[in-house]
Chains A and B, each alone.
Chain A
Amino acid sequence: MSKWILLAVGAFSICVPFIFTNEYYFSIIIMACIWAIITVSLNLIVGYTGQISIAHGAFFGIGAYTSGLLVLKLKLSFWLALPMSGIVAMIFGLLVGYPTLRLKGAYFAIASMCFGLVINVIITHWIDLTRGTMGLPGIPAPNPIPFPGIGSLTFDSMTAKYYLILAFLYLTIFVMHRIVNSRIGRSFIAISQDEVLAESIGVYLMRYKVLSFGISAFFAGLGGSLYSIFFGFISPEVSSLDISFNALVLVIVGGAGTMVGPILGTFFLVVLPEALQVLKEFRLVIFGLILVLTIIYLPTGMFPGIQSLWRKLLGSGKER
């Protein structure tokens, strides 16, 4: 059953460029894919490890600027800048996570938010390096990948960029899936459930929290790098707190701690406001209403809500 749904979604994602021929709608789908990379990675630390982080926008911004600066200033190939942006974001994640993850609950959330703010301020005001609010324009498309004999794969068109971003979204989901279903993921979940008990069965809390934070930051960095080549322009906005908060909302509304939840939440909440464009200024009201209703009636998120509804409908209510 779930296998068929996965196949259908996979097939649909490949057909998207042919279905959404309108460039505007297509770009919204691509943006949703980038958002999904952010939320799926954020879900590791928030959903599975239980540490509310408001720093994800900062990692996204660090990734975008690392990639942009390496390509523009050092003339590095994008294919080198892409992993570098993940690694730099991860290093920041490890360095910041080590002192702040000792804090619990809201205190960690506040500390991570402060880190996010600091990064945003640095990017905005280090004008010699980042050109400040003027941003970095003219980030070129990734270099073509040559295939000897056949020609080369270029990334100038929107469709090619879409497939590139989609591939990395699938990579992110795949890696997260593997991690979550391993011994490592189990220790993350143990921490999110009960830290004292987790420690008593031998989970070194700091190591696993910092590890989760680092992996999470790595993929956010990749997402930032992909964003930079999709728009060709980045400004300090890419590291704003808005991104951190929005990502958190998408994860929680979609269903934190589930694999499907954040993806569902992302596509729903990124595509919905556009679908409501016709309602003009009322669209934010409807948007807000949906958020409030989800929090009240589906407190664990949309996906777990749908799951339990589905089970009730099938009558196999294994509510044990």
Chain B
Amino acid sequence: MALVILAVMLFLTILGSVTAPYDPNKMQAKNRLQPPNMKNWFGTDHFGRDMLSRIMVATRLTLGTSLCILIIIALFGIAIGSISGYYPPAGAILMRIVDATMAFPSMLIALFLASIMGPGFMTVMIAVAAVYTPRLARLVHGITLTIATNTYVSAAKAVGVGEFRILTRYVILNAVSPIIVQCSFQLAHIILILAILDFLGVGFPPDVPSWGNMIATSRIYITRAPWLLIFPGVAISLAVISINIVGDTLRDAFDPHAQEHIQQG
């Protein structure tokens, strides 16, 4: 079930506006705030724009951006984590910096970074990536420490395998499964934090159709047009639930004894 929802959303992400029944930005003054009906399944917003089309476009935007952010986090997190796990002196310094940044709630840091850099796509991506990279780095650091003590690593060193090759082929490849599990949970967090930044007004520019922006504007029409609030929220929730279920399944598949532990946002 979760996979089906994710597949549909990924499909929307790749196809984008092709699937939308109407132009998501076309304003029709006489169709303002229409409740859901046969023509506009999810109703229309305060400019008479079709909500279904806007949610489809927002899916592309949010999932696309989230995946880009996740790739940035994975690259930097794995690099920082594995280097600091493999070379203890570097680790001592890097991990102290990581610890210090994690003493503050991640959302506040993202909010602060997003507000000083001003609104825009790059801003949001950098702010969110900067917050979650230390978390992944910390996990990779821990795994690298244990992997590096294995005999096969010493054996590789003994036969003269290069440092870089040991790090990429022997250490990181063996750490892949927990990293994938962690990344899937982080993807869920990224989607939520993107929505929160939009809602607080420091995320995507306000005219861009994103799930968070749509909910933010719906506040004004909360009694007159509750469908403006409900459908984008359902979209976010479905996405996050499916990703969490896939993450749970992956974790159980990779490590049946793994304990559920807190995924802080």
Q: Do A and B form a real pair?
A: no
Question: Measuring CB to CB, which residues of chain A are less than 8 angstroms from any residue of chain B?
Answer: none
Question: Measuring CB to CB, which residues of chain B are less than 8 angstroms from any residue of chain A?
Answer: none
